[in-house]
Amino acid sequence: MIDAYEDPGTPDRRGGWRYLLWLVRRQWPRCLAGAVLASVWMVLLAATPYLMARVIDQGLTPGDLGALAGWTGVLVAAGVCNAWLGTMRHRTMTRVRMDANFRTVKVVVEHATRLGASLRRQVGAGEVVTIGVGDVQTVSTSLTAVGPGVGAVVAYAAVGGLLLSVSTRLALVVLLGVPLLGVLLGPLMGRLQSRESEYRERQSVLTARVGDLAGGLRVLNGLGGKGLVADAFRRDSGRLREQGYRVGAVTSWIQALGVGLPMLFLALVTWLGARLAVQGQISVGELVSVYGYVVALGWPVTFLIEMAHQLSRGVVAARRVVAFLRLEPDPDTGTRDAPAEPSVLYDPDSGVRVLPGRLTALAGARPADAAELIDRLGRYAPSEVTWGDVPLSEVPLAQVRSRILVAEAEADLFAGSLRDVIGARETPLRDAGGHDVRLRRVGATSHNTPVDVRRHAGAPPTANLTRAIRTAAAEDIVQSLPDGLETQVAAQGRDLSGGQRQRVRLARALFTDPEVLLAVEPTSALDAHTEATVAHRLRDARRGRTTVVACTSPLVLDRADVVHHLVDGKVVATGTHQELLAGEPGYRALVSREDMDDEVVR
């Protein structure tokens, strides 16, 4: 199977069938082995009735004990061999399925990382979840039909040949029956693909709505909208259930025909064989073999139907995976180098001017305005922002990401030791030119975008880590955990409190020590005492480096060198916290409300 660090290859994105074929080609020796094992296994199943006929005609009927013992021994040996072949076939196809699963997961995750900030704008969260949870599994399961499917065709031809040696009429009935089965099932397979596609689409929409509900439940409850949203969700889930019933109805017909039609063949062929035996055209042993052939043919027919069913579902899922893989990240139009020295970041849309080496605060009544401004300054949204005298959009994205870090309040936290979550574990990676470099893997920051930055020169990792933890006032977190920095933390920090998660995120951002740090609400979940500590330490730790915080906390604003008061996303006043309190009634009202909220919390 594919190794965790192995290159999954370049997927074929020309269509669902092409993608499934690519998965087969990536492990063709294993798929070939599965097909050979399945073919021999099914042929031996079909050969069992032949051996049984020999036992009856050459040993049992004449009373020849030697022939009876010999053919019985061959029959037992064939059974033992077939049992081993069946085990190996199943084991091989399990490896095929798991390789396809892991390979698809890798290409999807790598492409999601490549899309970066553009992912949210191009596809909904529900679609990504549906692909990762459902479609990947369906695609991999469909590949298990490769071995048994080929084996079923081989066994079908073998049974036809054996029946021809007994009776041409019986052989024609059986050989023409399976194509007839395909004619009957063909329209159902097409209908299944259509229903399955619609079901997957509805499922992705509903999954996205579940995520939105979970994230905004408190807000909805406060606004009195929980009931309305719950009713809408109930209606959508009802429609999804009805669509699931439609998919199940088609599937049930396919499975019913898969079980019923072979039984009709069995009854028809047994009746014809019995008439031929009564007429003396075939022996009793041959009649038994004919019955056994048709029974044995049930396996290939079942596998053929299952293969068609799984491939119909698999191609639908593969089309969705391919559609995701066809998404392209925003083009990097950068042709000019970033300023060599720390320079001013200027956003003409808002009028905000970020001076290098200063702690700048953005305070607005609508947090979304400040967050959108941060996105523009960090080049996560189209803008006319300039960096020095260079438009930010014309700077290569790699240069922007290596010097400007956006840290969101709800940035993802991956599972692992606390040291790894913060990013203190060094990992060897390759740069854009393919050369080995020593980088720190920081994890997810804004928009789930992984950030890798070079080691800060002149400071050992332990000093950087200690300084970052202290600045984020996170020493008590390390001390409270049983194994300190080596304690395993759950994904998204579920085993930490809200305030602890926020301080870990801040420590992770500070550990990278970027030239420009843009932080969104870095202290919103902290109590007043801890928030004051973080504000004081943040100013000292980032002295001489550009830092922008979007918040309305007076404890943080009072430590800022410059505060921009935003109204409807525009700067209406600039100054220190004390200057704005004295001269701007709107700012004073905004901060006073924050003070009152702090009193309520305390």
Mapped onto helix, strand or coil, the DSSP state of residue 329 is: coil
Give the C-alpha separation, 556 to 449, whole Å. Answer: 27
Closest among 97, 113, 54, 108 to 78, alpha carbons compared: 54
Sheet holding 359-364, edge to edge: 404-407, 516-520, 546-550, 359-364, 562-567, 570-575
Burial of 350 (0-12, 13-18, 19+ CB in 10 A): buried
> 499-510 burial by CB neighbour count: b if 16+ within 10 A, else e?
bbbbbbbbbbbb
Could you tell me the pLDDT band of residue 446, with boundaries at 50, 70 and 90?
very low
In terms of Cα–Cα distance, which of 112, 57, 190 is closest to 448?
112
pLDDT tier, 426 (very low <50, low <70, confident <90, very high otherwise): very low
Integer Cα distance of 519 and 354 in angstroms: 13
Residue 459 pLDDT? 40
In this prediction, residue 59 carries a pLDDT of: 65
- What is the dihedral angle through the alpha carbons of 11, 15, 21, 27, rounded to the nearest 10 degrees? 20
Give the pLDDT of residue 190: 62
pLDDT at 447: 39
pLDDT surpassing 70 at residue 218: no
Edge-to-edge, what's the strand order for the sheet holding 436-444?
Answer: 426-430, 436-444, 450-454
SS3 435: coil
User: Which stretch of 96-110, 433-447, 453-467 has the lowest confidence by average pLDDT?
Assistant: 433-447
Q: What is the pLDDT of residue 492?
A: 85
How far is residue 101 from each of residues 96, 98, 104, 324, 419, measured CA to CA in Å? 9, 5, 5, 16, 30
Count the Cβ atoms, other than its own, within 10 Å of residue 81: 13
How many C-beta neighbours within 10 Å does residue 144 have? 21
* Residue 160 to residue 293: CA distance in whole angstroms: 9
Which of 190-194, 260-264, 469-473 comes out lowest in average pLDDT?
190-194
SS3 443: strand
- How far, in Å, CA of 450 to CA of 384, rounded? 25
SS3 label, residue 54: helix
What pLDDT, in 10s, does the model give residues 558-588?
A: 999 999 999 999 999 999 999 999 989 999 9
- At residue 422's C-alpha, the angle toward residues 363 and 343, to 5°, is 45
Evaluate if residue 186 carries a pLDDT over 70: no
What span, in angstroms and rounded, lies between the C-alpha atoms of 508 and 135?
Answer: 34
Please report the pLDDT score of residue 542 as a whole number: 94
Taking the C-alpha atoms of residue 26 and residue 106, their distance in angstroms, rounded to an integer, is 14
Angle between helices 146-166 and 168-223 (to 10 degrees): 160
Which two structure tokens, joined as six digits, stand for 323?
Answer: 């559609």
The 3-state DSSP class for residue 308 equals helix
For residue 600, which amino acid is it?
V
Tokens 């019995």 correspond to 274
Question: pLDDT higher for 91 or 441?
Answer: 91
**Both tokens assigned to 577:** 């916290």
Task: Among 22-36, 193-207, 278-292, 342-356, name the one with the lowest average pLDDT.
Answer: 193-207
Q: What percent of the chain has pLDDT over 70?
A: 76
Number of residues assigned to the chain: 602
Which of 213-222, 499-508, 534-543 is predicted least confidently?
A: 213-222
Q: Cβ distance 524 to 499 under 8 Å? A: no
* Statement: residue 452 has pLDDT above 50: no
| 299 vs 107: CA distance, rounded Å | 35
Token pair 């956003």 is at which residue?
A: 347
Q: How many other CB atoms are found less than 10 A from the CB of residue 438?
A: 10
Amino acid in the structure at residue 334: G
pLDDT of residue 438: 29
d(CA 250, CA 245): 9
Q: In the structure encoding, which two tokens stand for residue 306, read together?
A: 């299952």
Alpha-carbon span 13 to 126, nearest angstrom: 21
Residues 481/487/490/493 CA torsion (nearest 10 deg): 50
Consecutive H or E run containing 407: strand 404-407
Rounded to 10 degrees, the C-alpha dihedral 19/24/27/30 comes to 160
Q: What is the pLDDT of residue 599?
A: 42
What pLDDT was estimated at residue 262?
A: 66
Pairing relation of β-strands 546-550 and 516-520?
parallel
Residue 245 is predicted with a pLDDT of 76
User: Would you say residue 600 has pLDDT above 50?
Assistant: no
> What does the pLDDT look like over 76-120, one tens digit per residue?
888 888 889 889 988 998 899 999 999 998 999 888 888 877 787
What's the pLDDT tens digit per position in 360-386?
999 988 888 999 999 999 998 889 999
CA-based diameter of the chain, in Å? 117
Of residues 89 and 442, the one with the higher pLDDT is 89
> For residues 521 and 67, what is the distance between their CA atoms, to the nearest angstrom?
88
Both structure tokens of 57: 């005609």
Pure H helices in 279-366: 284-325
Decide: pTM greater than 0.75: no
Asked if residue 509 has pLDDT above 90, the reply is yes
Count CA atoms within 13 Å of residue 556 on its CB side: 26
Q: How far apart are CA 160 and CA 12, in angstroms?
A: 37
- The span from the CA of 442 to the CA of 407, in Å, is 11
- How confident is the prediction for the chain on average, in pLDDT? 79
Q: 370 or 426: whose pLDDT is higher?
A: 370
Residue 3: pLDDT band with limits 50, 70, 90: low
3-state helix, strand, coil in the chain (%, to 5): 65, 10, 20
pLDDT confidence tier of residue 453, bands split at 50, 70 and 90: very low
> Any idea which residue has 């076939």 for tokens?
89
Handedness of CA 383, 387, 389, 393 (dihedral sign): negative
* Top mean-pLDDT range of 185-194, 310-319, 509-518: 509-518
Q: Give the pLDDT confidence of 252-303 residue by residue, as tens digits.
A: 776 676 666 667 767 777 788 788 878 877 776 677 777 777 766 766 777 7
Task: Give the pLDDT confidence of 535-561 residue by residue, as tens digits.
Answer: 999 999 999 999 999 999 999 999 999
Evaluate whether 488 touches 415 at the Cβ level (below 8 Å).
yes
Which residues are paired to 430 by β-bridges?
436
Residue type for 274, please?
A
